[in-house]
């Protein structure tokens, strides 16, 4: 019988910008996984789990924080700030925590095989100062203004923009419902996942609050519509702004969550 070790490690980590980040990657280049070094295939019960909570400096939960592992695993913090990132390789693992309005947190933890490591992650406010802006006849979101959402919308970029008023107006059941009918965008559902394709059935990279979470991220299952504030859709790579282009030949779906 295999013995599963549960390692409880509670850490209060202070958020600070990572200084050694690789261009186009959210995780520090200092940690490089070598999953083939042992020459053997790990059983699923040998993989590790990172679990815990994300809070602000006062201990208040931070829902919608994005947790990204250096092997590509991604998850979102729930309403109570809790999260769970599974199927991690044993050994050193690097992680990045992001949320609008807070400084990003990058850290590394040694993950024992067949273990669960529990962490408490504490983020500090970013204190970003808004530039003066002219508001003409409609309510705007301060958080969206910080991200440049309204600037891109006003510039007339070749994307489709769904602002908070649009999400409030529509009676949506799933987040991907708003994409149905968008020109050059296809929503396809398999038995296990919902996929979004761009022009010519091309792939679409998914971003949550500006953080890339991969084209396999299931917006229907992992992003409830009540969490979503706004969305930008770029059906082809030629239309995609540089900050949402990973040079993968894909378009982009950019989801902004309700954080203000």
Give the torsion sign (CA, 166, 170, 175, 178): negative
* Residues 236/208, Cβ–Cβ less than 8 Å: no
CATH code, residues 7-123 = 2.60.40.10
What is the per-residue pLDDT for 130? Answer: 52
Q: Provide the pLDDT confidence category of residue 129 given band limits of 50, 70 and 90.
A: low
Quickly list DSSP for 133-145. ----SS---HHHH
Q: Provide the pLDDT confidence category of residue 128 given band limits of 50, 70 and 90.
A: low
What is the per-residue pLDDT for 31? Answer: 34
- Angle at alpha carbon of residue 97, lines to 260 and 63, rounded to 5°: 40
* Residues 80/63, Cβ–Cβ less than 8 Å: yes
Burial 178-217 (b: 16+ CB within 10 A, else e): bbeebebbbbeeeeeebbbbbbeebbbbbbbbbbbbebeb
CATH code, residues 142-257 = 2.170.130.10
* Residues 235/199, Cβ–Cβ less than 8 Å: yes
Q: Which of 47, 102, 45 is nearest to 71 (CA)?
A: 47
Provide the residue count of the chain.
260
- Angle at alpha carbon of residue 116, lines to 110 and 118, rounded to 5°: 80
> Could you give the residue range(s) of every CATH 2.170.130.10 domain in the chain?
142-257
CB count in 10 Å sphere of residue 228: 21
Collapsing DSSP to helix, strand or coil, 219 comes out as: helix
Average pLDDT over residues 133-152: 75
Report the relative pairing of strands 48-56 and 82-88 from DSSP bridges.
antiparallel
Which of 26-40, 100-114, 155-169 comes out lowest in average pLDDT? 26-40
Q: What is the pLDDT of residues 149-179, one digit of tens each?
A: 998 988 877 799 999 999 999 989 999 999 9
* Residues 242/193, Cβ–Cβ less than 8 Å: no
Collapsing DSSP to helix, strand or coil, 46 comes out as: helix
Average pLDDT over residues 64-92: 91
Which residues does residue 25 pair with via DSSP β-bridges, in sequence order? Answer: none
Burial 87-105 (b: 16+ CB within 10 A, else e): ebbbbebbbbbbbbbbbbb
- What's the mean per-residue pLDDT of the chain? 80
> Could you give the residue range(s) of every CATH 2.60.40.10 domain in the chain?
7-123
Q: Which of 209, 189, 201 is nearest to 251 (CA)?
A: 201
Write down the pTM of the prediction: 0.59
Selection from 2-6, 14-18, 55-59 with the highest mean pLDDT? 55-59
* Residues 212/27, Cβ–Cβ less than 8 Å: no
């Amino acid at each position: 019988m295999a013995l599963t070790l549960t390692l409880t490690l509670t850490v209060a980590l202070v958020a600070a910008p990572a200084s050694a980040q690789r261009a186009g990657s959210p995780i520090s280049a200092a940690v490089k996984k070598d999953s083939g070094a042992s020459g053997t295939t790990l059983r699923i019960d040998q993989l590790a789990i990172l679990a815990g909570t994300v809070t602000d400096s006062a201990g208040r939960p931070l829902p919608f924080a994005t947790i990204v592992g250096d092997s590509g695993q991604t998850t979102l913090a729930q309403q109570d700030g809790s999260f769970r990132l599974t199927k991690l390789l044993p050994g050193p693992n690097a992680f990045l925590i992001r949320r609008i309005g807070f400084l990003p947190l990058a850290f590394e933890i040694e993950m024992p095989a067949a273990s669960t490591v529990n962490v408490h992650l504490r983020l500090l406010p970013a204190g970003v100062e808004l530039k003066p802006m002219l508001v003409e006849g409609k309510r705007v979101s301060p958080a969206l203004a910080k991200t440049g959402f309204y600037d891109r919308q006003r510039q007339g970029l070749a994307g489709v923009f769904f602002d908070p008023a649009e999400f409030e107006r529509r009676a949506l059941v799933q987040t991907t419902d708003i994409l149905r009918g968008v020109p050059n965008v296809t929503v396809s559902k398999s038995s296990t996942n919902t996929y979004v394709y761009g022009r010519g059935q091309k792939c679409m990279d998914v971003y949550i609050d500006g953080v890339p979470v991969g084209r396999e991220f299931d917006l229907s299952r992992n992003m409830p519509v009540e969490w979503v504030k706004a969305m930008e859709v770029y059906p082809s790579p030629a239309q995609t702004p540089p900050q949402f282009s990973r040079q993968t030949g894909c378009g982009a779906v950019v989801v902004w969550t309700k954080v203000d």
